[in-house]
Structure 1
């Protein structure tokens, strides 16, 4: 058994209501007050954990009950050891998840809150309503699967009278209000098609998060929030994922940044050496590496530079002559023959796979994935089942290589994006989260 610090889950009725703004502001405000705060993110988000880290000064990790077993979840939760407080950001709405059971649940933020005993702080966008906001909060509190509701944070409040009307009805229904945040369009973080612009691309992330921290410090009752935090013991030390090789050359820059923190942590803990390199800086992978791993990211925004990166391409091709290469999503596209950008320009890629993809024909591919490997990939034998997530807008124009896996969505429906396998090179559109439990 292990003891976690007390925590809170920051959730909302839906996406786009201010969860990330509030979470980042609270992380920075509590940090500035002298607390050590451990951030987490519910679900398969690639971007928010980097913002959490910038705000808290401490790595953030995904917690995912659909794709992770108890051992991995407990291992990740153990990263909170030594912290004073846990702040876990939810995904979508509090009860939103898949319609089918995964490894440990359906993937909702409510399940994470119940599992660790972290009360929920519900962020409510009260623009366009007043007393009705309290009815929304009351409904969430009395859902049959409800975790403890600590209270609410009111977002986009129009003024003092508006705040009073909402607060009085919340008080009448016995719902604590921890903050009333006025409308501040200047504090919104820039976005693109997969969510926020990445933290490392933000022009001044330190200043932006500092402003959010000051905003929450000025308008939230931080002492009451900390007093509301709770938690329960976790089951044990947990089990981290195994590394796919001993020396792993990992692409890492603005085009290749979607690496799940728990995977890298597991690789480090097992003694693997991570050798970062930047394709955008025309760097070749370390020739001593046992494996080259190309994560997802935004290669479509940098396709011209990648196409011109001859040192990167030649080094990658030399490696693939004798040793494995694997790409996920954006990394998978770079392993192909060509990538067609949103303007219709065709950019030659590395050609290690026959894949041709296009962003000119945009179509959303989104959701959890189960992949039963029909070919081996680094660290995984054929026949293994993997759990992952897919989120991209690219369309496959040509995929001549052997499939990597039989892939289904969370409900078991077949997915046509099977990944590819050719010699030492493999790739998939799904981002690996965890191996299926034995």
Structure 2
């Protein structure tokens, strides 16, 4: 493990509980620095580039998509395994021939780019089929950093049951970052891809920027140096782990992805790591204790499940007190990310209510979201909310705006999973 990055795990919490207190909250900040030195072999990686080639992609869209896919191929470092998939109502391996990934070399890159230049737009949209093919191709490389980039401009035509079945089957097997272009795709469909495959969803508002998005996403993947780490969380016998969520840089609920290690311990996948920092919020419900008693409410380790290597670890504590000042003090980081999660939920609920014609609920949720966004320094989100809901600064009365640009709405929806960091001045007690 000498060539691996160095990981640190810091735990922010208020350990003091009131006499009848049961819920322990903690935010884990995990940072990795350094990485594989230039002298050692780079980490093995495998990449599948998925391009929507359905009928709606005709004209300038398919031209920009071909350019972006060619750029993605160009950005792969030498030796990385890769493939290009064309997505319609089925998935077709455009490059290489056969049914397996090929290593990136100047020759294979050029061949792939020639194959990409022949892509044309025709057919329907079955995103599950595209991901299934990517999964099969990537599964031949179990020790690699496995990643797919998926771009679409339309709505998935598969039944919800079929789509979710595919996502469930491949959850945790590879990471997929998705891009939506135009205004006819459904953010909710790509959000479930991100949730299942630990990825991100981005809205390419200006189609001519697709190239830059592909380049940046592939560069980020190429910078990863450790594959498939998990948060291993132990809680005591009488306790319940209520949730484990990634809260920064984006919101991802990992609770349902638990893999049992033993009755008291579970692994929660975090995907691959490079030089970066992420934050996680966990909540443990413990049995009430005696005043003054301190217990370990959770023991958290960052592990590689297949080798059992431990990269970092820390304790979540609980201590009962009858000192109200101690037990009511809210940890700054816990409060901040609880607020960010609420902001996301309010935006999602508000946009759903608006789509369903429930003006009252939509107005209330989106106005409250605007307040939280303004208070927590999310100027970008507050600005987008302003395009959807209007709040009178004098009376505080809110009303939905009538003619909302579809692109503004999509940007608000996709951006709601990104969180802001706690500003240093706010601190965490």
Q: TM-score, normalised by structure 1?
A: 0.27
Which is bigger in relative contact order (C-alpha 8 A, separation at least 6)? Answer: 2
Pick the structure with more strand per residue: 2
Pick the structure with more helix per residue: 2
